[in-house]
Chains A and B, each alone.
Chain A
Amino acid sequence: MRVAVVRFPGSNCDADTVRAARQAGADAFYVWHRETTLNGADAVIVPGGFAYGDHLRAGAIARFSPVMAAVRKLADAGAPVLGICNGFQVLCEAGMLPGALMRNAGQRFLSRPVTVRIENTDTPFTTAYANGAIFRMPVAHGEGRYVASDAVITDLEREGRVVLRYVDDNPNGSVNEIAGVSNPAGNIVGMMPHPERAADPALGETEGARVFESVLAGIAHSSGGPQ
């Protein structure tokens, strides 16, 4: 089971993400953004950071990197694709997820734990959670306020595509406390919190590990067993 973690100039959560995926049992590896193939990956993670220095808008330039055509192709084939933080911003800019992430309502860059609830356990990144599971993960972003048109928000809510929601407090002013969403098929997921930073007892939180365990279990299942 092979998991590609895309590296852009400015990615900074790539190593943590590879580590968390490996800890869950994946054969995880880096793919440089200039590459045009994903080296046989079964799933892709676009990690956090500041790809291209967030020039113009977060994710606006990264989506033109050659590797994104390969990511889109794999996603179109139904493979799991996860964007974390800046990766979520990249997937929104690429039109692979709806909406956009704007500057935090409170004007500050936030780097702290938040409490989130799993709203949909049918995505490849959330099957290992109990529905409604509440736990803590860190956020670290200046632009995490999720916005979309009213029509898109209505669709997301009705179709159960809000995957993750902030509870207790809304750190960035996101519409409907949305912390993560999926595409209509459910195989592409984006989230602002960092599961890879909540995936080891040494980090104080471990529930984020289930994101990586979920994708492993799903792919092992769909291909008839662990590979």
Chain B
Amino acid sequence: MTRFDVLVQVMPRDTLLDPQGQAVGQALTALGFAGIGDVRVGKAVTFQLDRPDEDAANRDARAMCERLLANPVTEAFTVVVEGAT
């Protein structure tokens, strides 16, 4: 069994309005940062996961996203699995 570090990133789907991202973009512009484009705000979830191999860790992390960590109607997710060093 290996302990993996899992990073899940959950973002609002590209086709959906992200008012939180808009607000952050406006705030950055108000602070004087020029050239701010489309800003979107999502969330990151990290956890450790004990699995026999990386494939199993990846598969289960994705299952967790589909069942809880992301809402498939509104959010897309990416999973990064790294072996603990």
Contact, CB under 8 Å: A103 / B19: yes
Distance, CA A173 to CA B18, complexed state (A): 11
Q: Which A residues between 84 and 111 are near B, CB-CB below 8 angstroms?
A: 92-93, 99-100, 102-107
A74 to B44: give the CA distance in the assembly, Å. Answer: 36
Q: Which residues of A sit under 8 angstroms from B23, Cβ to Cβ?
A: 107
- Whether a CB of chain A sits under 8 angstroms from the CB of B31 is no
Chain A hits for B69, CB < 8 A = 56
> Are A102 and B68 closer than 8 Å at their CB atoms?
no
Interface size on B, residues (CB 8 A): 13
Known contacts A56-B68, A60-B68, A102-B12; is A147 also within 8 Å of B73 by CB?
A: yes
| Residues of the A chain whose Cβ atoms lie less than 8 Å from the Cβ of B74 | 100, 102, 147
Docked pose: A105 CA to B69 CA in angstroms: 23
Chain B residues close to A by CB (< 8 Å): 12, 16-20, 22-23, 68-69, 71, 73-74
25 A-B contacts, Cβ less than 8 Å apart? A56-B68, A56-B69, A57-B71, A60-B68, A60-B71, A92-B73, A93-B71, A99-B73, A100-B71, A100-B73, A102-B12, A102-B16, A102-B17, A103-B18, A103-B19, A103-B20, A105-B17, A105-B19, A107-B20, A107-B22, A107-B23, A145-B17, A147-B16, A148-B73, A173-B17
User: A-side interface residues toward B, CB under 8 Å?
Assistant: 56-57, 60, 92-93, 99-100, 102-107, 145, 147-149, 173
